[in-house]
Amino acid sequence: ARLELLGDILAEKPQEKKAINNALVLSGLPIVDSARIERLQVFIRDKFLDKHGEVVKFSMPTDENGNSLGFALCCFQTDQQALDALTDIQGASLDKMHTLNVFKFSDFNRLADADDEWKPPEKAPFVDRGDLRSWLREDRCHDQFGVLHTAGSVATIYWHWPGDPQPVDSATRNNWTESRLHWSPLGTYLATYHTKGIALWGGEKFEQINRFQHKNVQIIDFSPCERYLVTFSPSVTKEDPHAIKMFEVDTGKMKRSFLHEQAAKWPVFKWSHKGEFFARVQTGKALQVFETPSFSLLDKKSISVQDVQDLSWSPTDNILAYWIAETDNQPARVILMTMPEKREVATKMLFNVADCRMHWHPQGNYLCVRVNRYTKKKLDADNTPKYINIYTNFEVFRMREKNIPVEKIEVTDAVSCFTWEPHGSKFAMVQGIASKGLSVVFYQVNAHDIEKVKVLEKRNVNTISWSPIGQHVVLAGLRSANGGLEFIDTSDMKTTANQEHFGATDIEWDPTGRYVVTTVSFWHVKVDNASHVYSSHGTLLYKLNKLERICQFAWRPRPPTLLSDEQIKNIKKNMKTYSRRFEKEDLQSSTRASKELLEKRARLKTEYEKWRAKLLEKFRGEKQKRLELRGVDTDELDSNAQDFVEETLEFPIKVERIRIDKLPQVAE
Amino acid sequence: FAFSQLSQLNQIMKPICLLGHMRSITQVRFNRDGDLIFTCAKDPHPSIWFALNGERLGSLVGHNGAVWCVDCRWDSKKVLTGSADNSAKLWDTETGKCVLSVDTNSAVRSCGFDFAGTSAMLTTDKTMGYKCTILLYDIRQDPAGQPACQMLVPESKITSAVWGPLSRFLITGHENGDLCQMDVRAQKVIRTEKHHKGAINDIRMYKDGTMFVTASKDHTARLIDSYELQLFKTYKTERPVNSADISPLRPHVLLGGGQEAQDVTTSGAHVGKFDAKFFHTVYEEEFARVKGHFGPINSVGFTPDGRGFVTGGEDGFVRLHSFDNDYFDFEFE
């Protein structure tokens, strides 16, 4: 009897756990003296640990004087709690000088057991990706575009040879993407969506460059420099609760991931122009500006801004613009701040503001803040503000002038589709309501004022699409409107063409500003799916309608030009000489047709030569008769050269009249 | 489709304008050597010009009505003309003197020396009482108005006619688009083919006589072989083709045409928008246009060495062009 009892008791004997997965080591803590240790412990448990679960054990070792050593140990009740805590607090900053570095206790053992001998890591085999920019070196500088067709099951990349686009070799693939095609901002990569994540393709043959795992990825964003890829997926799990992930494109490594709590517009994280910073707003509370390549907060902390609503980067400078909502005792404000210095370079107070939207000029020359103002404000039953009589103001910040002066424009009508002219100083918008007739209004930002240059009335327009090089613009009525396209040259505000692509759902300029493509996408309309290609002046050049059920047409972007302004000026000056050469080449290449045409011509030529050969045979057979009939050989023009008579003709080339009495005197 | 390069030919190569006729040009012809140009128009005086500089050699005086056709003998010594005054005349090229004249029952539409230069063929129009007729004359002596032989064409009248290879037969184009080989001496139609849907306005032989090009009211020109009248190529335009010729030097075909005279509106008058069209012989593709005429082009011809071409229009102008180097370098791929 005693032996059986012993077995049960023995089973209850506490066992030493072999793996300690519920314990964490927190290092990077400040070193404090014995007086403040208690406070530090409370602080750490409060701020970082208690919210993740029950801390069963916490210990902060000290030296012989009672000072902390800079690290602490803690045990959670469950392994999962420890894991949650690790993910959340790793890299968190305590203050300017201290950042938490957290790792699992089990890792600690592993590190302690590590070999004393350092073994160099295995060299990863060099994968030669080839020339990722090969498409830019095409003979005639033609662009590429990608088409997703056959209801999305086939994607093809084409060379845009005007009038006769040709698919790129081995770039027609079935099920290349599961939702859409996405080009990287400088055109180097093609991103495709898959259940498992994103794949990037590039190089001459569009080989796979890298894969980025993110289950059920829904939408992505690239940093402007193409070094980083941000992905979002709504499928979060307990093990992987981060909806937003950031990857380094070259290595494929995930650099950081984020929880996504608030509803927000994509992209949640906005990039600075060189990819040095990315930022997001914590609505009402703070700006979080992160820096690369560390992917941690700039200066290790957020920028606390009460009532901040939204932010936007300048496309060409490290200037962050953000706006603060108005409160009972403070007006709304728009603030421009440089990064990383965090210096305010411009502030504008705005009164009676219901909402703001920021529109940067593509070359960063201006920032236009569209302010919805109200005349009266009421508070609803649940204290949400209700605005009456909304009118719109546009505050234009002149970024390139000293002290960034701001100018205001008022518009009483409802406003939509605000767009800046790239490389120019105009902007356009649609004003009015559909029932009364919409107008498109153009403004010009001059040195001392902003003038309204043109109002185009009664235009059923819902999209204003500027050429990427400026000057030309297309006013389009897409989707529910009837597909009307008005091409305007804004240098003289004349309409160069009026076209119609019935049912068009999308419009896109090519990166050089030479062509405009309108598409009727299968995703919106099930019939007549085609893309129409127009010149910048609105001439319909050709239709891409042989592909079935086109879903998406996407031009491949180009990196910005490497030419200096001076060089561009010189080229424009000598345009005539270049034009002559290019027109010659154009003629040759327009007759340099597709393979089929060349084959057809070769066939025709051989047939013709055969036919001629037979006729020539007959001709030669009759030579004798010809000699008899004429008495001389006249088969060729010079066959009877002996009959030629040589004649010299004189023509005066120049006639000069000289008065004899005015002849110079000859010196004796 | 770009033909910008060659259509600049107008600016690069200035044509020599021969202003010698008050009325629309009906035909322009070169002699075999290419140093003389013969032009006839709806006025009664055909002219002879030096092709080198456009200087006029002289005009042939004697006809009383529009001169429909002209031909120069292979040795350039004699000229043949056919007129609406119901006569055909043989002239001495050097002096311009009329050496023979024959009267016909109706207007003479086409005329031509045979290969040897010893016979002349004429075709006459169908008018009241008289059927369309082909007449052959021996011109070694005065025929005193008697044709060596003649042949009636009962149905569709002849609108254009040339001698076949070795002058064994005539190749005739008819108002209804028919193309026939006529052996006048044997009085029979050797062969008929219907390649065109409209009247054949002009037939021009290739330099070796083995093939020819037809220009038709049905807006096309066609390349056909002389021996079997087999259609080989078709060149399509949007307007009636009045005249066509084959380059002796390059695989090019030249077409001239335009609207009917009464359809021409005055809007384009100062622009000179009627153009001569160049097609590639084998690929049937148009690659260039040369503007300049103020009215439809009635007659075209390449210079015998292929280095230029001449066009005569409804506007009464004859334009002589020389090709520049780009023309000779231009290649289709």
pLDDT single digits (tens) B168-201 = 999 999 999 999 999 988 989 999 999 999 999 9
Q: Strand A23-27 to strand B241-246: parallel, antiparallel, or no bridges (unpaired)?
A: unpaired
Q: Which of A213, A212, A210, A232 is nearest to A221 (CA)?
A: A232
Contact (CB<8Å) A622/B165: yes
**Sheet with B158-163, side-by-side order of all strands:** B158-163, B170-174, B178-183, B188-194
The pLDDT of residue B8: 41
Query: Smallest CA–CA separation between A487 and chain B, in Å?
Result: 23
ipTM reported for the complex, 2 dp: 0.86
- Give the least confident one: A15-24, A127-136, A356-365, B222-231: A15-24
Band (pLDDT 50/70/90 cuts) for residue B207 is very high
What is the rounded CA–CA span in Å between residue A208 and residue A190? 9
Dihedral (CA of B270, B272, B274, B279) sign? negative
Q: Residue B9: pLDDT above 50?
A: no
Query: Smallest CA–CA separation between A652 and chain B, in Å?
Result: 12
Q: Residue B2: pLDDT above 70?
A: no
Does residue B38 contact residue B58 with C-beta atoms inside 8 Å?
A: no
pLDDT digits 0-9 by tens, B16-71: 889 889 899 999 999 998 999 999 999 999 999 999 888 899 999 999 999 999 99
Contacts of B210 in chain A (CB under 8 A): 612, 615-616, 618-619
Contacts of A619 in chain B (CB under 8 A): 165, 208-210
Instruction: Determine the average pLDDT of the residues in A364-391.
Output: 84
DSSP helix/strand/coil, B271: coil
Does residue A413 contact residue A390 with C-beta atoms inside 8 Å?
A: no
Contacts of B283 in chain A (CB under 8 A): 601, 604
Contact (CB<8Å) B283/A601: yes
**Residue range(s) occupied by CATH 2.40.128.630 in chain A:** 134-175+420-574
Contact (CB<8Å) A649/B52: yes
Q: Hey, what's the torsion of the CAs at A406, A411, A417, A421, to 10 degrees?
A: -40
Restricting to B residues 186-215, those with a Cβ less than 8 Å away from any Cβ of A are 208-211
Band (pLDDT 50/70/90 cuts) for residue A18 is low
Query: Smallest CA–CA separation between B187 and chain A, in Å?
Result: 22
- The third-level CATH classification (topology) of the domain covering A18-108 is Alpha-Beta Plaits (3.30.70)
Contact (CB<8Å) A637/B34: yes
DSSP helix/strand/coil, B249: coil
DSSP helix/strand/coil, A462: coil
Contact (CB<8Å) B115/A611: no
Q: Which of B263, B255, B266, B262 is nearest to B294 (CA)?
A: B266
Instruction: Determine the average pLDDT of the residues in A625-631.
Output: 88
Contact (CB<8Å) B225/A615: yes
The pLDDT of residue A429: 93
- Give the least confident one: A251-260, A339-348, A352-361, B38-47: A251-260
Contacts of B166 in chain A (CB under 8 A): 622, 625-626, 629
Partner-chain residue, chosen from A590, A591, A604, that has the shortest CB–CB distance to B282 = A604
Over chain B, what is the mean pLDDT?
87
**Residue range(s) occupied by CATH 3.30.70.330 in chain A:** 18-108
DSSP helix/strand/coil, B17: strand
The pLDDT of residue B268: 44
Does residue B318 contact residue B39 with C-beta atoms inside 8 Å?
A: yes
Q: Which of A526, A528, A525 is nearest to A505 (CA)?
A: A525
Residue A69, token pair as written in the block: 């050593």
Partner-chain residue, chosen from A590, A598, A612, that has the shortest CB–CB distance to B1 = A590
Contacts of B1 in chain A (CB under 8 A): 590
Partner-chain residue, chosen from B32, B115, B232, that has the shortest CB–CB distance to A611 = B232
Q: Give yes or no for B289 touching A (CB within 8 A).
A: no
Query: Smallest CA–CA separation between B109 and chain A, in Å?
Result: 26
Ramachandran bin of A609, using left for φ above 0, alpha for ψ from -120 to 50, beta for the remaining angles: alpha
CA A443 to chain centre: 27
What is the rounded CA–CA span in Å between residue B111 and residue B73? 11
**Crossing angle (nearest 10°) for helices A565-573 and A575-591:** 80
pLDDT digits 0-9 by tens, A306-326: 899 999 999 999 999 999 998
Q: Give yes or no for B130 touching A (CB within 8 A).
A: no
Q: Which of B284, B156, B179, B279 is nearest to B227 (CA)?
A: B179
Band (pLDDT 50/70/90 cuts) for residue A260 is confident
DSSP helix/strand/coil, B160: strand
- Cα angle, residue B224 at apex, residues B223 and B225 outer, rounded to 5°: 135
The pLDDT of residue A15: 58
Contact (CB<8Å) A619/B166: no
Supply φ then ψ for residue B30, to 5 degrees.
-100, 160
Instruction: Determine the average pLDDT of the residues in A516-539.
Output: 90
Partner-chain residue, chosen from B32, B210, B282, that has the shortest CB–CB distance to A616 = B210
Partner-chain residue, chosen from A584, A612, A629, that has the shortest CB–CB distance to B5 = A584
Q: Domain A134-175+420-574's class?
A: mainly beta
Q: Give yes or no for B54 touching A (CB within 8 A).
A: no
